[in-house]
Amino acid sequence: MNDGVLRWRGGTRDFFEGEVRFLCDPVIDSMERYGNCRSKEELARLRCYGARQPESGDADAVYHRPEIAPPAAANLAALTPANLGKGGLLLWHKWEKAHLANHIVAQLLTSLV
């Protein structure tokens, strides 16, 4: 594992090779992951994503950052753990993708004007 990315080759038949990036959700500091893998027989890669599932005895989720109004923080702290079973929200990752897309579109529009 290097820089939060796990890469492997020569695994089991169904997960022969792949790459998974681990990141910390800044909302409640949960561990989330996304990446891709492929089987030994197929060339097509499959996307995979998920989040650490809370266990009984884990403390309730607490909002960590960034600083926002207390009611919004409470709602995010409730919403995020409720979605861990569905793979997590990966809010930060989605924000980064949207930010990059906006940046590229802005550059393209600037070159056209």
Cα separation values, 5 from 63, 102, 111, Å: 25, 26, 35
Tokens at 50, concatenated? 């998920």
d(CA 35, CA 5): 9
pLDDT in tens, 41-96: 988 998 887 777 666 677 666 666 667 788 877 887 777 767 766 666 655 556 66
The secondary element (H helix, E strand) that includes residue 109 is helix 91-112
Residue 57: give the domain boundaries: 5-112
* CB distance 38 to 9 below 8 Å: no
* CB distance 3 to 23 below 8 Å: no
pLDDT of residue 109: 86
Task: Name the pTM for this structure.
Answer: 0.55
Edge-first strand order for the sheet with 31-38 is 5-9, 17-24, 31-38, 46-51
Domain count, the chain: 1
